[in-house]
Structure 1
């Protein structure tokens, strides 16, 4: 299982509430339809003013090839463009992980 973890921060001038609402109502439903996506979570900090980012997205794919194909698809490009429209992508941190479940 391959997981993509991304930290996202709001653009300057955007409130945390606006950012979270847009993410939940617009961006997440769009990204949820990525081809091959098996699981998708997004977490928001309890105290956004002291957090170093505003959202942590985790997207699971069966393998790295499927993930690459998903983001190379028409929908994948739309998801990326949408993220660029509401988040500070220069501040985003991305890491691809090979996840091993210890406790479920």
Structure 2
């Protein structure tokens, strides 16, 4: 399993509500069509409380079975469509390819 994490910053012209609505209801269905994806999660930043605000408005996590599956999905026409759509609601997008280490919940042996 390989995971792609996207860190995103919304267009300054969009309110936080409009950004979240577009991401979840317009962009997510386009991205979910990328072949080979095994999981897709969107994380929208909330009120940071007493912590300093983050430089990002959210993140997305996308799982693939392998690097080859990820490369094939990212080379697909569906990814081209989703990638082009990011221009409608994002000012900044960066990706991390990560190895996940689950700390909690602990697995039961």
TM-score band (shorter)?
A: 0.7 to 0.9
- Match among 74, 77, 102 for residue 74 of structure 1: 77
Tell me which residue corresponds to 1:59.
Answer: 62
**Which of 78, 84, 98 lines up with 2:87 in the alignment?**
84
Radius of gyration: which is bigger? Answer: 2
For the residues of structure 1 that align with 2:103 and 2:54, how far apart are their CA atoms? 27
Cα RMSD (Å): 1.7
SS in 2 for 1:70: helix
TM-score with structure 1 length normalisation?
Answer: 0.88
Structure 1 or 2: more strand by fraction: 2
Give SS of 1:9's match: strand
Q: CA separation in 2, counterparts of 1:85 and 1:18?
A: 11
> Which whole-Å CA distance do the structure 1 matches of 2:69 and 2:28 have between them?
19
Tell me, in whole angstroms, the C-alpha distance in 1 between the residues paired with 2:98 and 2:80.
Answer: 21
Shift of 1:44: 0.9
- What displacement does 1:87 show? 0.4
Q: Secondary structure at the match of 1:39?
A: strand
Q: Which runs of 5+ in 2 are unaligned?
A: none
> How far off its partner does 1:85 sit?
2.3
* Equivalence for 2:100: 99
Unaligned runs of 5+ in 1: none
Q: TM-score, normalised by structure 2?
A: 0.84
1:8 alignment partner, SS class: strand
> What SS does the corresponding residue of 2:61 show, helix, strand or coil?
strand
